[in-house]
Structure 1
Amino acid sequence: MALRTPLYDEHIALGAKMFEFSGWEMPLWYGTITQEHMAVRSSAGIFDVSHMGKILAEGEEGMERLDWLFTRSLTGSRKGRALYSFLLDDSGHIIDDLIATRVSEHGFLIVCNAAKREAVLHWLSANVGGASVTDMTVGLACLAVQGPSSGEIVSGITDLDIYEMKRFKATKTRMRIVDTEREDAGEEMHWASGIEAETEPKGAEALISRTGYTGEDGFEIIMNARTARELWKRILDTGGQRIRPCGLGARDTLRLEMCYLLSGHDFDGGQTPLEAGEDKAIDWNHDFRGKEALLRQRQEEYPRLVAFISVGSGVPREGYEIFSLEKERIGRITSGTLSPVLKKGVGMGYVGEEYSSPGTTLYYGIGGRRIEAVVVEKPFLKR
């Protein structure tokens, strides 16, 4: 049976189209994907992303081993710093991409993809030695407020100076929810004791970070699951006409316009960060598991995840084959959609290095149909 987030009843009340995603019942859309997509690009949207894995790793003895598992140095980061990073196997292949936030001197909250939660838990537990690894997923909820108006909306529900927060900065604060006198509304989040902000003592504690998966300014708010419904309703009430609830359908089209990776699609255990074009998430001065394999790969030719736009009216879809100018099969599409902003078919897929330069003509299709496309620089939208 699929799991449900604390906001399931709210989604049903709002008329959401529900579907099963990575073992969770999640909203696909409330109105249309395009409406929700454009709301985020022009104003703001709120997403329930409580299905994402939330894992706490803490303990002084295991920090060195934990650090070795990530492609960026966790222990070299300041408290409250959120790092986008990878877990790799010894061959340099991606286990998952995730965000690790330093929440105390010897503690990190690791947010991973829902489908990879068990794999990440197992990998961490088997490799961190003296550190404790705790699955916090069910006990914590996560809301993402994204879009140009997200700052002014979130400012209306906390005393925190939102505009002073830098990108990939996180802090613990209190949110002004409707029922602040409930016994559990102010429940302490002791695991984030290292990054508490100076705010009024009333309200629900939450960890808020200036992060997102849409390419717009935005904030992700993690709080105790029991206070999620009040916070969800308060954000919608505060935002009014400036915000609308958004499902995972719009989350996917938004991330694809920015060429952000989707776990299980753009990587599935057989690709490296170099192939995925994410070497910015690698600290080459840091010693990490899988580094030797990546150093060897840097000296060779390897497949590249390219972005391309349809020349005509075609829309690329995952699983379609990619062909060269000579109509030779050279790859497969991993993500594709009709861009609501560009109003063109956009996609990503792995091809040989010789086909990866911007301006290269490709074809894609299924069966006997071939649709022309051109490789472009990432992302599709420049923010």
Structure 2
Amino acid sequence: MANRTPLYEMHGALNARMFEFGGWEMPLWYTSIVDEHMTVRNAVGIFDASHMGKLLISGKECVKDFQSLVTRKLEKYAPGRCVYAHLLDGEGRIIDDMIITMISSDRLFVVCNAATRGKVVDWISSNSPRFDLKDVTMEYCCLAIQGPRMVELLDAVLDKSKDPSPLDMRRYHACLTKLTLPRASREKMDEFSWARGIAIGFDSPGIPAVVSRTGYTGEDGIEIFAMREDTLQVWKSLLELGKTHGMKPIGLGARDTLRLEMCYLLSGHDFDGSQTPLEADAEFAIDWDHEFVGKERLEEQKRSGGYRRLVAFESVGKGIPREGYRLLSSSGKIIGSVTSGTMSPMLKVGIGMGYVPEEFSKPGTEIAYSVGEKSIAARIVKKPFLKKR
């Protein structure tokens, strides 16, 4: 049976179209994918992302130990920083991508993908037993608030009595704060004790939460991690406050089209355990100045070159690329397949990503994709399709 977030019944009350994703029953859309997509681009939307895996790593040397498993040198990042990283197998292939939040010198908070959570937990547990790993996926929610009107909405909700306030944070930073809302839970979030931290009087009104300036849309936004018992209160309060800011609930359908316009990777699609970060065009997520599982194979691949590349392309002819469609050279030779594709609500053109040989990866290269016996002209373009806003 699929898992359900604390908001499952609320999604039903909002007439969401539900579907199974990564072992969870999640909302695909409430109104339509395009309507919700444009809401996030033009106003602000709220996502239930509680299906994402949430792990706590702790131990005296956990930062050094954990960084030996991932592509980032974590010890160079201060508490409060959020770091995008890849977890690799011994052959340098991506097991999962994740956001690692530096809580303190002996504690990390890891957000991984829902479908790969079990694999991630097993791999970490079997490869570095010197720290403690606690799976807290079912204990905390994750609500993402994304869009250009996010700041004006959350200005009324986030505790600004401390300096800096959550809205003063730069992107890819996080803090422990309070939401100025009535509480459902009386539990403390003691696991999130910040070295640089923010002292919180938990006996005073408000909901404790970790707030990070992160997201999966390309828009300014935050992600809120609160106790499971407080999820419904936070969701309902934010939706009510958001009415005057154009806020709507957003399903995973729009989450997918939003991330694709930014060329963000989707686990199980743009990587499935057979690609390396170099092939996935994610060398930016590698800190080469530390040792980690899979590094030797990546160095060998980088020296040798000639590996396939994940590219972005847009339709020249009329058509919408879909996952699994074949990618063709201008002469009609099969050179790869589409890993992600959609009609861009912003660009009004079919866009997609897929792996092709290096010689076809340069922006401007003319290719095509096949739909049955029909081929649609396309062109390799520079990533992302839209600039981060």
Shorter-normalised TM-score: what interval?
A: over 0.9
* Equivalent residue, structure 2, for 1:117: 117
Matched, 1:167 2:171: yes
* Equivalent residue, structure 1, for 2:380: 375
Residues of 1 paired with 2:337 and 2:7: CA distance?
A: 36
8 A contact 2:63–2:105 mirrored in 1: no
Gaps of 5+ in 1: none
* Equivalent residue, structure 2, for 1:240: 243
Equivalent residue in structure 1 for 2:352, among 331, 344, 347: 347
Superposition TM-score, scaled by structure 1 size: 0.97
Measure how far apart 1:22 and its partner are: 0.8
> Secondary structure at 1:193's aligned position in 2?
coil
* Equivalent residue, structure 1, for 2:144: 144
> Secondary structure at 1:140's aligned position in 2?
coil
String of CA shifts for 1:57-81, please: whole Å, max 9, x gaps: 1011444321100100123211111
- Mapping 1:256-275, distance limit 5 Å: 256-275=260-279
- Mapping 1:7-46, distance limit 5 Å: 7-46=7-46
String of CA shifts for 1:176-220, please: whole Å, max 9, x gaps: 22x33x4x2x42111111153256742111000000000000000
Residues of 1 paired with 2:386 and 2:52: CA distance?
A: 25
* Equivalent residue, structure 2, for 1:327: 332
String of CA shifts for 1:242-294, please: whole Å, max 9, x gaps: 21000000000000000000000000000000111111111111221111111
* Equivalent residue, structure 2, for 1:230: 233
> Secondary structure at 1:141's aligned position in 2?
coil
Residues of 1 paired with 2:158 and 2:383: CA distance?
A: 35
* Equivalent residue, structure 2, for 1:158: 158
Matched, 1:90 2:90: yes
Matched, 1:251 2:252: no
String of CA shifts for 1:94-137, please: whole Å, max 9, x gaps: 00000010122201110000000001100111122221111100
Amino acid at match of 2:71: T
8 A contact 1:58–1:106 mirrored in 2: yes
> Secondary structure at 1:69's aligned position in 2?
coil
Shift in alpha-carbon separation, 1:198–1:153, aligned structure 2, 3 A: farther
Amino acid at match of 2:42: S
* Equivalent residue, structure 2, for 1:76: 76
Superposition TM-score, scaled by structure 2 size: 0.95
String of CA shifts for 1:314-371, please: whole Å, max 9, x gaps: 0000000000011000000000000000010000000000000000000101331100
Measure how far apart 1:143 and its partner are: 0.1
> Secondary structure at 1:139's aligned position in 2?
coil
Gaps of 5+ in 2: none
Residues of 2 paired with 1:61 and 1:109: CA distance?
A: 15
Residues of 2 paired with 1:176 and 1:12: CA distance?
A: 27
* Equivalent residue, structure 2, for 1:214: 217
> Secondary structure at 2:144's aligned position in 1?
strand
Equivalent residue in structure 1 for 2:313, among 308, 329, 332: 308
8 A contact 1:47–1:143 mirrored in 2: yes
Name the % identity. Answer: 51
Residues of 2 paired with 1:61 and 1:307: CA distance?
A: 40
* Equivalent residue, structure 1, for 2:371: 366
Q: Which runs of 4+ in 1 moved over 6 A?
A: none
Number of corresponding residues? 379
